[in-house]
Amino acid sequence: MYHPALAAYDFGEGHPFSGERFTRFMAAIEGYPDILSRLTVTEPSPAGDDLIGLAHSLSYIEMVRALERRSGYLSVDTRVMPGSVEAARMIVGASVGAVTAARRHGLALSFGGLHHAGRDYGEGFCIFNDVAVAALHLLQSGIERVMVIDTDAHQGNGTMDIFYEDPRVLFVSLHQDPMTLYPGTGFVTQVGKGEGKGFTVNVPMPVRAGDSEFRIAIREIVIPLIDRFSPRLIIRNGGSDPLKDDILTDLGLSLDGLSLMTGTIAAAARDRGIPLADLFLSGYGSRITEGWLAIVRGTLGLPIDIALPDGREYGNRWNADSIRDAMLRTLEQLKRELRPYWGDL
Ligand SMILES: [Zn+2]
């Protein structure tokens, strides 16, 4: 799903989230015939209040509209400027379009993942939560179980809040240790509430966690949960910010590791006949396009083969035993938390 109007999702001069990322990426894939031959580019349409109202209160939508008129701030890092709301509606429309296309074709890709917006709040560069809207739209269409796999470096607090008491959506998030990064949520003990207990799963990754730590987390938590929950559709969201080059985060994924991660999730979905909507738009610094290419190549099952002007770096330059040990301790603790709901993972 792509529309040139996405470029209006931009927070202004000097902000790490600029809207040119979308046009730059679309220009870059022109250089990769093996990607292009696998894709049909479809234009989404902006989501109206009926769709956005699935995840957000009408008073919040009204408040955002009023803020836009005076270029006000939703939070210290998230300014709503004229045009922002229409662009956010386009992102939501694209993600809803992606889950619809995934149901038909098995796989769809879009620019989405505004996971820091909750029912009555927006922050962290996120105005409307497209992931939550897309999942709620599926539930409304009679799809019973939706799994959200959030691999963004920042924990998806908005998505978590919206589904915290909802057993229809299994929300699994791999993110940098919340003690060390915004939004400061996503501990292993946050497992949901009421009916939703067990349907929120947080995997905090140690600072500098790299390819092997992500591989272990996917293998030991994410894949077994796909089998236990047996979702009717999977939404993966998250862009290039777990890369070690990202300027806002402190994780250690290489491009190969990022590609392997999305590829492993896509292959698991494909092997089980589960449709997958793959959404990405985050990433900060100079490696956004390459990171997104790695994501898409992984998801499409293509070998990672990306031309980089400044050469490639393989593996994880830290790769210390202490990082691995911290990861294993976290997984042990998480499995203990999850045992009452999912048995032995
Ligand atoms: Zn992020």
Tokens of 288: 């956004």
The pLDDT value given to residue 76: 86
Q: If pLDDT is split at 50, 70 and 90, which confidence band does 45 have?
A: very high
Q: Is the pLDDT of residue 6 over 90?
A: yes
Q: Is it the case that residue 308 has pLDDT exceeding 80?
A: no
Catalytic-residue membership of 116:
yes
**Pairing mode, strands 276-279 and 233-237:** parallel
Q: What residue type is assigned to position 304 of the chain?
A: I
CA 28 to ligand 1 center in whole angstroms: 22
Cα(153) to centroid of ligand 1, in Å? 5
Q: Which of 115, 116, 137, 154 is catalytic?
A: 116
Task: Transcribe 42-87 into DSSP letters.
Answer: -------HHHHTTTS-HHHHHHHHHHHHTT-EEETTEE--TTHHHH
Q: How far is the CA of 287 from the centre of ligand 1 (A)?
A: 14
C-alpha of residue 180 to centroid of ligand 1, in Å? 13
Question: How does residue 143 score in pLDDT terms, banded at 50, 70 and 90?
Answer: very high
pLDDT above 70 for 318: no
Q: Which two tokens stand for residue 270?
A: 């494909």
Domains within the chain, CATH numbers bracketed: 4-342 (3.40.800.20)
What is the chain's mean pLDDT, rounded? 94
Q: What is the pLDDT of residues 201-246, one digit of tens each?
A: 999 999 999 999 999 999 999 999 999 999 999 999 999 999 999 9
User: Is the whole model's pTM more than 0.85, yes or no?
Assistant: yes
Instruction: Name the nearest CA neighbour of 189 among 174, 200, 205, 176.
Output: 200
